[in-house]
Amino acid sequence: MKGVVLAGGLGTRLYPLTLATNKHLLPVYDRCMVEYPISTLLQAGIDRIMVVTGGPHAGDFLRVLGNGRKLGIAHLEYAYQEHEGGIADALSLCEDFADGEPIAVVLGDNVTNANLAAPVAAFTVGAHLFFKKVPDPQRFGVPAFDTGGVLLRIDEKPATPASDYAVTGLYLYDARVFDIIRTLAPSARKELEITDVNNRYLGWNALGWSELDGYWTDAGTFASLYYANAIIARERGWIAPDALAGHTVTP
């Protein structure tokens, strides 16, 4: 399996910090943000990785990551997203890199200590998503279940969430994902939505899911960026374990 880190976008929610560099190169404690999703892939045994970036600071990734060898990446490629077309649009740039193999996709602002080695090893066909219970699911894709716990659909950033779970920015897909993306129409946000991709797999009865172990947060807002820094600092022993008690961002 190959890995993809989606690290494009302008990071407008983090202005003025992202006026100087790409959001995914901002510090999360002692490393650049993008190094955390890369570590997630490497821990799962995936060392052939493509980073998709965009915007005016894309060249900064070369200075930070280089050829990837210092991080343990055996093969690193880059792709450039020329416009703001959404997650699925960014993923479409990876079709040649995937070359018919399944791919593990991680959003570049995801910080987690979850080990994906087992689900990656078990994955064969279809798609697999990872859910996490959060206090603010309206910021994410949200799974809706029936009374028996069967997944019915995924709603994109719903005003009234059907559950308190978020679809985290970690996905496993077979090669059909690129065929699906080619059929998508832009949403009201003028983007190709990854939620539409996931619902297509669900309609085919080819979507699996599991609850993510460990901590997880995105780092795309000031609050979640602060929290990501704090949980890594706590993990490294630099702040007290109870320092985050009562924090409202995803633990």
Other Cβ atoms within 10 Å of 42 Cβ, number: 18
To the nearest whole number, what is the mean pLDDT of the chain? 93
pTM flag (> 0.75): yes
pLDDT score at 242: 61
pLDDT score at 79: 97
pLDDT score at 250: 43
Q: What is the widest separation between alpha-carbon atoms in the chain?
A: 51
Residue spans per domain, the chain = 2-244
Report mean pLDDT in 10-residue bins for the chain, 251 residues.
94 90 95 98 98 93 96 97 92 98 98 97 97 94 95 96 96 98 93 96 97 94 93 83 52 40
For domain 2-244, give the fold. Answer: Spore Coat Polysaccharide Biosynthesis Protein SpsA; Chain A (3.90.550)
pLDDT in tens, 30-77: 999 999 999 999 999 999 999 999 988 999 999 999 999 999 999 999
Rounded Cα distance, 142 and 248, in Å: 18
